[in-house]
Structure 1
Amino acid sequence: MAGTDTVTHFDDATEPAGTGPPRGVRGRRTALIVCAVVVVAAVAVVGALGLGGGEEEGPSAPPRAGSVVPVTRTTLTERTDVDGQLSFGTEIPLPVKATGTVTWLPQQGATVERGDTLLRVDDRPVVLLYGSMPMYRDLGLTATISDAAPDAGAGASETGQSDTGTGATASPSPTGTGTGTGAGTGASAPAPLTGMDVLQFETNLAALGYTGFTVDERFTDATVRAVKRWQKAFGLAETGTVGVGDVIYSAGKVRIGQPGARLGAAVGEDTLTYTGTARKVVVNASAADAGWAVRGTVVGITLPDGKSVKGEVASVGREASTPAGGSTEGESGAGAATLPVTITIADQKSVGRLESGPVSVEYVGREVKDVLSVPVAALVALAEGGHGLETEDGRFVAVRTGLFADGNVQVSGSGVREGMKVRIPE
């Protein structure tokens, strides 16, 4: 019934003739109320559109017209929503170095971990291992060149010893004596292959449970024996040598993307693609308003089903791009330059089974702490200009407005204080 009384009291068309205050008094009161209502409505619309700050309403219901609310001290936070896309990231071709015919491919979307088969070429598995250095050579035992010179045989005896009487030596030994013994026999002595790629491979071999060797930069006989056991597990010939096309390294487990070749086709550069296994969000942020996009910034992500999850800015692109025919001017809106912002989601379970789709990303644009605020609806227009608040006893106090956020507005001025009661205009 209170709502009905209010409509009857202020609606000229429905008020009975001969009731209420004199025409002049009543007219001034009606004009003042209409002015206040219009100003409040305009300010509320500005706040809702983001022209004055906040873009969303607070969780609580707005105060009712005619009610009294206190001036509170609080923190106001301006939040802005931008569109983003959830996915596993851009698909990247796997560096397959095996040559031959593709005889098996995994399913799109499958997860491959260390020691698993990525694909088969000529019915030979190509195995995923973890590391940053690409496979660039075969790994196995190698042999050093004999200390004997290739044509030293003319000066050597049948026993392999050099003829010291001629003054020729089998090799440029440090002493120059050329005794002909040891390395001067002309035989090749096996020596281990060394390098960081060996260390990377041995680290993976040990992680897969093949032990019995020292994990270092030397490919030794003990490594060979472990490799043979590894090859046996795949049903391969136990050669002890790892071919350049037998393994592919990645930083971690991968998710198989769209295949670029069919079974029976020759291996090519785009035979198989992959992504990471974690879902992430990419936002094409306006280059002019990308100040919020700082690595480590926490943001809110609203999924297509309405569920909210937390994300963190992981990287920001350095090259701005524009749509075809767009302008490169630093203005927000269609055709404006944008920067790609990648946002990671630590709690992958919170995303559920969703793999891709449009999302909304909420970030904090501005924030003011320890300020006085009132509901936007409490603002009234003063006759001398600017905004004011109506106190509980009917006085009007001029205020300066600041940040608009969550349906509230920052206010300041000599006549306003914390706890002061103000009225919501009718």
Structure 2
Amino acid sequence: MSRRTVTTIPGVARAHRGRTLALSVVGALVVGAVVGWSAEAVFRSPATEAAAPDVQYATAAQGSVESALPLEVVAQWSTTPLGTNRATGTVTAVSVRRGDTVRAGDTLYLVDERPVVIATGKVPAFRELRSGLHGRDVAQLERLLDRLGYLHRTPDDTFDSATATAVRAWQRDLGVGDDGIVRVGDVVFVDHLPAKIALDTERVKVGAGLAGGEDVVGGLKAAPAFTTDVTDRQSQSLTPGTNVTITPPKGVNATWHAVVGSARSSNGTTTLTLVGKGGTPVCGTTCGAIPVSGATALDGEAPIVPRTSGLVVPAGSVVADAEGRSVVVTQAGERVPVTVVATAKGMCVVTGVEAGTQVRVDGETAPTDASTQDTP
């Protein structure tokens, strides 16, 4: 037969058959009490009860029960493609770090000491831009020059003398030859700016060679992704919409709140994606607390049994009578039918018995302390 882990509650005295154990239950009685009593004890049969060599009594009292599953939550930024490098040569400098916010006109890196600048535009760079050309790519360039204060007329799609003058002034400020010609690799056009940049650091690093056409310019998504791995069995209690609380990194005072979103199972492990409530980021306005590189492990918790208040008795005091009903046995030997409302951490919230009633708690060993271990 097995031993069960039980935690002594202040004010509890041990008693053998015929002696009374006064169990004082107050406030958060459940959270530390009678730990280790198995939930199966709720349906212990009278036969087991009769065979128990050691009997105790506990007082039914107001309290609450609750149970939560601790989780290890992983937060990680992911990237999305932004633009394509068109410069050819050797990377001689990198001007931005992962997570930096870049705007139109910012330099990303240098190839053969020539700056590669980012700008907005739907059309990727595909040709040199010089006087006499027309097109959407010219219009994109002129909008950049206008935003930076170099073009002194309304942008259009024609590369004329005003455009050339603006390009030369821009080139002088960049520190390159002011010939008025924009090389195909000088500008990386992206869909939107500003953006949190994420270069491919394996290919864009000092000394690396670029041939043109590499998708090396990416951006961080608006917020990091939050996931947690649980067993397939645990996942049955963590259905979509289950609330999860997350302890953020140091420096963030408010707890983060999420709900379970999608689930993916593989080899006995289920990966749950956690999402913010109402479509907002899990980390709200404090996502900057998550490092932009690598994965960040955070403590989380999901309620398995929500906090339930009422009349509390040890789970070991609830047995099944001959008709299969849940009952508690009073000190006088009366079997009182009860309804179990909630069970957690070896305690039950029940209805059907009066507060102050002494109920029998059967077990092979009386409660001692929380260090008692389950043994075969």
TM-score range, shorter chain: 0.5 to 0.7
Identical aligned residues as a percent: 24
Cα 1:67–1:30, aligned 2, differ >3 Å: closer, same or farther?
closer
User: Match for residue 193 of structure 1?
Assistant: 135
Cα 1:377–1:123, aligned 2, differ >3 Å: closer, same or farther?
same
The Cα shift of 1:104 comes to 1.3
The Cα shift of 1:102 comes to 1.6
User: Match for residue 235 of structure 1?
Assistant: 175
User: Match for residue 113 of structure 2?
Assistant: 123
Secondary structure of 1:101's match?
strand
Question: TM-score scaled to structure 1, two decimals?
Answer: 0.52
The Cα shift of 1:97 comes to 1.6
Structure-to-structure mapping, 1:78-93, within 5 angstroms: 79-89=68-78
Cα 1:82–1:402, aligned 2, differ >3 Å: closer, same or farther?
same
Which shifted more, 350-359 or 122-131? Answer: 350-359
Pick aligned residue for 2:318 from 381, 385, 404: 381
Would the aligned equivalents of 1:108 and 1:259 in 2 still touch at CA under 8 Å?
Answer: no
Pick aligned residue for 1:105 from 94, 115, 119: 94
RMSD value over aligned CA atoms? Answer: 5.3
Q: Does 1:345 align with 2:283?
A: yes
Question: TM-score scaled to structure 2, two decimals?
Answer: 0.57
**Structure 2: runs of 5+ lacking an equivalent:** 1-8, 24-32, 41-56, 276-280, 362-376
Pick aligned residue for 2:340 from 401, 406, 412: 401
Structure-to-structure mapping, 1:2-401, within 5 angstroms: 7=13, 10=15, 27=17, 41=34, 45-46=38-39, 69-70=61-62, 79-89=68-78, 95-106=84-95, 109=98, 111-114=100-103, 115-130=105-120, 133=122, 135-138=124-127, 140=129, 192-194=134-136, 204-210=144-150, 212-214=152-154, 218-219=157-158, 221=160, 225-248=165-188, 249=190, 251=192, 252-256=195-199, 258-260=201-203, 262-267=205-210, 276=220, 280-283=224-227, 285=229, 289=235, 292-293=239-240, 299-303=244-248, 309-310=255-256, 312=258, 316=262, 320=264, 322=266, 326=267, 333=268, 336=269, 338=271, 344-348=282-286, 351=289, 356-363=295-302, 373-375=310-312, 377=314, 380-382=317-319, 384=321, 386-388=325-327, 397-401=336-340
Listed one character per residue, the Cα deviations across residues 218-267 of structure 1 (whole Å, up to 9, x for unaligned) are 34545555444433321234455544322222651214563435534421
Cα 1:321–1:122, aligned 2, differ >3 Å: closer, same or farther?
farther
The Cα shift of 1:360 comes to 3.0
Looking at structure 2, the residues matched to 293 and 69 of structure 1 have their Cα atoms a distance apart, in angstroms, of 35
User: Match for residue 176 of structure 1?
Assistant: none
Would the aligned equivalents of 1:376 and 1:408 in 2 still touch at CA under 8 Å?
Answer: yes
User: Match for residue 355 of structure 2?
Assistant: 421
Q: Which residue identity lines up with residue 173 of structure 2 in the other structure?
A: A
Q: Which residue identity lines up with residue 421 of structure 1 in the other structure?
A: A
The Cα shift of 1:99 comes to 0.9
Secondary structure of 2:89's match?
coil
Structure possessing the higher radius of gyration over alpha carbons: 1
Cα 1:134–1:6, aligned 2, differ >3 Å: closer, same or farther?
same
Higher strand share: 2
**Structure 1: runs of 5+ lacking an equivalent:** 13-26, 34-39, 48-64, 144-189, 327-332
Would the aligned equivalents of 2:70 and 2:301 in 1 still touch at CA under 8 Å?
Answer: yes
Looking at structure 2, the residues matched to 102 and 203 of structure 1 have their Cα atoms a distance apart, in angstroms, of 27
